């Protein structure tokens, strides 16, 4: 199993393992690169709660995999970005085939985990500008115990994971592969060069991936998640967690104080994002021209408009499915389209761009 490798075409089962929900897509990808979705599932693991522990995964996933006929499909999984150290580092130029070995000698500088406890992978970012004689490299590191726990749980569910990814990079892969299609659909210029950002709303935290010229420039996990919004709605309206989640579905059009809760939450998230933008402006002359929103919160009414106002740059709900064949879903097409931003990391697993060659 690899972290950053390109896999062959065929039937793909993509499983995004979030803190409070599992998102599963069954996709078929032809040698031509055409992608179709043939089935999907969204499984909540608790009202505002979290997956008890990774061992619960097998109990939940096993029946679903049998239901969708996993069989010999290529199974790819993404886990929360908070489990990972994701850094874009600058290092002296070496041949591409020697990058991983060169990074190994400096791993302790970038990863605050003992070397014997780390599983890592890296990707040369040849298209990203660097200083003379240097090159940019994407480094992704996970604790070995995290990888082993998730792999074991999926095997107990009856599937062999071919790849383990992290949500912010899966979201980036979706944007890198399908962003041009989305921009055309939205009627906006495609920014193949320049600075944009993808923000993935999670239940416990929010992932930010700054992109320059189509390559990841920096990734950061913001310690604020949808759970805080749910608590505010619950406190404001005197509701239990499940009831608060139901009220949140109305987004900025919600009544009885819900819109105010969204406003307060948006202000906190926007402040963190702006702080990251300011740091990148100083360090890398970064100037974000557009923000793409993913995750369940991005599907809520009015959230894109709220973030546009608070950030001062266009923020759009990213729909990676605008040019994906959904015909086999028949009368379920509308249900998936309504949740398109929720499934961004899962789609990214099926259209992987980053790969260690």
C-beta of residue 174 within 8 angstroms of C-beta of residue 12: no
C-beta of residue 165 within 8 angstroms of C-beta of residue 349: yes
Give the burial string for 20-51 (b: 16+ CB within 10 Å, else e).
Answer: bbbbbbbbbbeeeeebbbbbbbbeebeebebb
How confident is the model at residue 51, as a pLDDT? 53
How far apart CA 8 and CA 75 sit, in angstroms, is 12
Residues in the chain, overall count: 357
How far apart CA 301 and CA 306 sit, in angstroms, is 10
In this prediction, the residues of the chain whose per-residue pLDDT falls under 50 are 1, 4-7, 47-49, 354-357
C-beta of residue 14 within 8 angstroms of C-beta of residue 346: yes
How far apart CA 161 and CA 212 sit, in angstroms, is 31
DSSP structure string for 130-163: --TTEEEEEEEEEEHHHHHHHHHHHHHTT--EEE
Strand 118-124 and strand 195-201: the pairing is unpaired
Domain ranges for the chain? 10-228+261-350
DSSP one-letter code for 55: T
Closest CA to 29 of 280, 292, 353, 338: 353
- pTM of the predicted model, to two decimals? 0.91
CATH level 3 topology of 10-228+261-350: Nucleotidyltransferase; domain 5 (3.30.420)
How confident is the model at residue 126, as a pLDDT? 85
Greatest alpha-carbon pair distance for the chain in Å reads 60
C-beta of residue 325 within 8 angstroms of C-beta of residue 38: no
- Average pLDDT of every residue of the chain: 89
Strand 161-166 and strand 74-79: the pairing is parallel
How many secondary structure helices (H) and strands (E) does the chain include? 10, 13
- Tokens standing for 40? 């999907």
48 CB-near residues (< 8 Å, 6+ apart): 20, 203, 227, 230, 241, 242, 244, 245
How far apart CA 112 and CA 78 sit, in angstroms, is 22
Q: Mark out the alpha helices in the chain (DSSP H runs).
A: 56-67, 99-110, 144-156, 167-186, 226-237, 241-248, 258-284, 303-311, 333-338, 344-350
């Amino acid at each position: 199993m690899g972290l950053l490798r390109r896999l062959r075409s065929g039937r793909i089962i993509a499983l995004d393992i979030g803190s409070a929900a599992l998102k599963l897509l069954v996709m078929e990808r032809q040698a031509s690169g055409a992608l179709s979705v043939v089935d999907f599932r969204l499984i909540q693991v608790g009202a505002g709660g979290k997956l008890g522990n990774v061992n619960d995964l097998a109990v939940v996933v096993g029946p679903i995999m049998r239901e969708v006929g996993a069989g010999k499909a290529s199974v790819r999984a993404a886990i929360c970005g908070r489990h990972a150290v994701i850094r874009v580092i600058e290092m002296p130029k070496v041949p591409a085939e020697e990058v991983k070995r060169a990074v190994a000698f400096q791993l302790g500088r970038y990863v605050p985990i003992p070397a014997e406890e780390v599983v890592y992978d890296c990707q040369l970012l040849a298209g990203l500008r660097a200083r003379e004689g240097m090159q940019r490299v994407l480094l992704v590191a996970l604790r070995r115990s995290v990888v082993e726990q998730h792999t074991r749980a999926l095997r107990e569910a009856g599937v062999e994971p071919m790849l383990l990814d992290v949500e912010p990079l899966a979201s980036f892969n979706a944007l890198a592969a399908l962003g041009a299609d989305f921009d055309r659909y939205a009627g906006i210029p495609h920014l193949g060069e320049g600075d944009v950002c993808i923000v993935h709303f999670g239940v416990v935290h929010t992932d930010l991936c700054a992109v320059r010229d189509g390559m990841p420039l920096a990734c950061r996990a913001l310690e604020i998640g949808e759970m805080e919004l749910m608590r505010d709605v619950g406190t404001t309206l005197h509701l239990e967690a499940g009831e608060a989640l139901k009220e949140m579905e109305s987004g900025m059009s919600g009544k009885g104080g819900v819109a105010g809760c969204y406003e307060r939450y948006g202000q906190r998230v926007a402040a963190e994002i702006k702080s990251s933008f300011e740091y990148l402006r100083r360090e890398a002359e970064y100037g974000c021209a557009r923000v793409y929103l993913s995750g369940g919160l991005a599907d809520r009414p009015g959230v894109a408009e709220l973030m546009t106002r608070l950030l001062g740059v266009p923020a759009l709900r990213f729909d990676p499915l605008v040019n994906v064949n959904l015909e086999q879903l028949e009368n379920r097409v509308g249900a998936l389209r309504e949740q398109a931003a929720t499934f961004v990391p899962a789609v990214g697993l099926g259209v992987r761009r980053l790969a260690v060659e």
